[in-house]
């Protein structure tokens, strides 16, 4: 890890996605605004089938997810995600004004005492886009 240290080692696997959610969200509009095809999108009230289960979408959602990888460091994954999206501050201001926007990260640990850090530059990219950082930490096999 650059300019730091991690006693127990790096995160074993990282998943990173942009999430945009709101009751009035129109997935096609968000797709046009961002210029990328979502990994998953649905309007509030859409009926979604996953395998044998069917659910009614409780909120409009638009997500763009990078493939999971054990090669990613958290900050690099976030920067890669944001590089694939427009940088226009007015666009992000509009999205954040209308919807909940965040970068959602799944951190998967196969042992205890793992760690990571975010560089100031990465945090600035999130702040410029008014994106909240969400972290879900999964510690399979960790004490």
Torsion of CA 107, 101, 41, 79, to 10 degrees: -50
Full pLDDT tens readout for the chain, 143 residues? 444 544 556 777 888 999 999 999 999 999 999 999 999 999 999 999 988 899 999 999 999 999 877 677 889 999 999 999 999 999 999 999 999 999 999 878 777 777 778 899 999 999 999 999 999 888 875 44
Closest by CA to 104, choosing from 139, 63, 135, 73, is: 135
The secondary structure of 50-100 as a DSSP string is: ETTEEEE-SSEEEEEEPPPBSS--HHHHHHHHHHTS---HHHHHHHHHHSE
The pTM for the full model equals 0.85
- Give me the residue spans of the domains in the chain: 13-139
């Amino acid at each position: 890890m650059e300019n730091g240290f991690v006693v127990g080692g790096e995160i074993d696997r990282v998943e990173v996605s942009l999430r945009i959610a709101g009751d009035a969200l129109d997935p096609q509009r968000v797709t046009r605004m961002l210029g990328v095809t979502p990994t998953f999108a649905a309007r509030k009230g859409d009926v979604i089938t996953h395998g044998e289960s069917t659910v009614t979408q409780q909120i409009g959602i638009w997500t763009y997810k990078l493939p999971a990888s054990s090669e990613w460091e958290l900050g690099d994954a976030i920067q890669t995600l944001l590089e694939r999206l427009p940088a226009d501050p007015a666009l992000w201001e509009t999205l954040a004004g209308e919807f909940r926007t965040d970068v959602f990260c799944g951190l998967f640990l196969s042992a205890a005492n793992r760690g990571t850090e975010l560089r100031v530059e990465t945090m600035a990219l999130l702040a410029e886009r008014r994106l909240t950082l969400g972290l879900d930490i999964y510690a399979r096999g960790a004490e």
